[in-house]
Amino acid sequence: MTTTEDYIPPRPAAPARFPRGMRALYASATDLLSLFPETAFRHRMMPFSAISQRVLIVNEPEMVRRVFITGRAEFEAKSRHFRQALEPVIGDSMFLNSGEVWLTRRALMAKLLHPSRTPGFHPLFVQGAQELAESWNGKVDVAAGFAAATALAVMRALFGQAAKAEDAARLAASFTAYEGAVLAVDFGHVFGLPERMTGWQFHTASKHARAIRRLCSANILAAGAKPEGLFAELQAALGENGRRLLDPTQLINEVAMLLLAGSETSANVLTWTLYLVANHAPTRERLRAEHEAVLAGRLPEVADLNALPFTKAVIQEAMRLYPPVPYLSREAARPERIAGIQVKAGETVMALPWLLHRNAHLWEAPHAFRPERFLPDAPQKPPQFGYLPFSIGPRICAGASFAMAEMMVFLAVLLPRLDFTLAKGTAPVPRARLTLRPRGGMKLMVAKR
Ligand code: HEM
């Protein structure tokens, strides 16, 4: 139940009922969130049929477990739309691959991004956060700033200090432009065209994809014969046959994937978190008190992060309300039954963190901003398969530790040093294309404290 003190942050107006026909197609192509009426947050499962295609949305923890954990082999492959939407940028990278190729590359990524290596990335997070703290003043689009800063953090992790801030800013701008050009629905697929004949809507996006890949290649080239950072390990990794695991194109694919997966997402969470903090004085004050008690004006060290539970809870609540990956989409490898519904081989099954995270059966006051629900001593634990900002199961985000540490460091550096208030006319509405972003960016007024 919401109380009068609850702060309910913005979300798109929900239609009275599911749109139909072309209106539904248009809504799903331009902003997936605009498809769902209020009742959708509570439905257990939603089959959608569009001309020759059917998509099944599972919206209940037990079914999420069935698809993402117990049925992982049957639902391991990303859906055709996901593949087509991302392939121009990340090629055959492990994010889109499945089977043996995915397994081998997943083992490599798991090693590179293992939680035990997060302390090694810590100085990069502090460096990036300090650079923002020094450069932000006046009216700032914090969405664009975070996008460039998080891209730079991944570039530095990959290539060392040779990574350039201008490249990161160009990369972030190209990711934004690419996402703006890619539709959330492949109409060719909906109309039943074979895969090789579809994807035409991505043509406008391809110039941005080429720019992204050129930047990745240039950084690989600049790394030369003695690369530093994670890239050195990617390049040197050997396959079972004792040969290099990744050829030059596959190296570009994995680098582009890490940059995309590792920047867009954290940047969106940080953007929404600052917005929520700027709007909610009690959270702001409690955060400041935590930072003052633990850090007393100094920069955070690795060991400090465990002593900042409220900072972590605020980030977790921001990811609940605004999950940066708003939908997870899989293709059935063979015919399956889910809760009595027959799924054919090749059909798409989706889980939407956007819906699950605001499901009234799973969360009290689901639309209210209550970071306290994520504190270790909260009376109710988050539902096990109903909170999936990092996905769940074997394909869970390989960079979750990197991301959590990065986001905590950014907040612990920025909030004690800067004041954030809403810029006049800022009324952000979340919009879901590939990731969930505030439409038109996020303009905040920034002042030194
Ligand atoms: C708040 C930040 C982040 C969020 C919310 C997030 C979320 C996700 C999600 C939901 C997936 C799975 C997508 C799917 O199942 O379709 C994923 C996969 C992945 N993420 Fe993240 N991510 C974040 C940051 C990062 C960072 C910083 C890195 C690397 C530096 C990273 C690397 C990856 C990789 C390599 C995969 C592919 C895993 C696989 O397919 O086995 N992510 N992420």
Q: What is the CATH number of the domain that holds 302?
A: 1.10.630.10
HEC sequence for 5-26? CCCCCCCCCCCCCCCCHHHHHH
Helices 281-295 and 248-279 cross at an angle (nearest 10°) of 110
Nearest partner of 170 among 134, 144, 133, 196, judged by Cα = 144
Q: Is residue 128 part of a domain?
A: yes
152 lines ligand 1 (CB under 6 A): no
Domain that holds residue 356: 21-448
How many C-beta atoms surround the C-beta of residue 307 within 10 A?
12
For the chain, how many structural domains are there in total? 1
pLDDT tens digits, one per residue of 35-65:
889 999 998 888 877 666 788 999 999 999 9
Pocket lining: 95 vs ligand 1, CB cutoff 6 Å: yes
Distance 192 CA to ligand 1 centre (A): 30
Q: Could you tell me if residue 186 is inside a domain?
A: yes
Element holding 194 (H helix, E strand)? none
Ligand 1 touching residue 109 (CB < 6 A): yes
State pLDDT tens for residues 299-343: 999 999 999 999 999 999 999 999 999 999 999 999 988 888 889
Ligand 1 pocket, residue 391 CB under 6 Å: yes
Q: How many CB atoms lie within 10 A of CB 3?
A: 8
State the pLDDT at residue 95: 95
Task: For residues 9-33, give the mean pLDDT.
Answer: 79
Query: H or E segment at 165?
Result: helix 165-181
Q: What is the Å distance from ligand 1's center to 51 Cα?
A: 32
Check residue 8 and give its pLDDT: 96
User: Ligand 1 pocket check: which of 265, 315, 350, 395 to mutate, most ligand atoms within 8 Å of Cβ?
Assistant: 265
In a domain, 249, yes or no: yes
Residue 12, domain member (yes or no): no
pLDDT digits (tens, 9 = 90+) for 77-130: 888 878 888 999 999 999 999 999 999 999 999 999 999 999 999 999 999 999
Residue 400 maps to a domain: yes
Is there a domain that residue 4 lies in? Answer: no
Residue 31 confidence class, pLDDT cut points 50, 70, 90 = confident
| Distance in angstroms (rounded) separating the CA atoms of residues 300 and 355 | 35
151 falls within a domain: yes
* Residue 181 belongs to a domain: yes
Structure tokens at 50: 């569009």
- Sign of the CA dihedral with 306 first, then 385, 106, and 256 last: negative
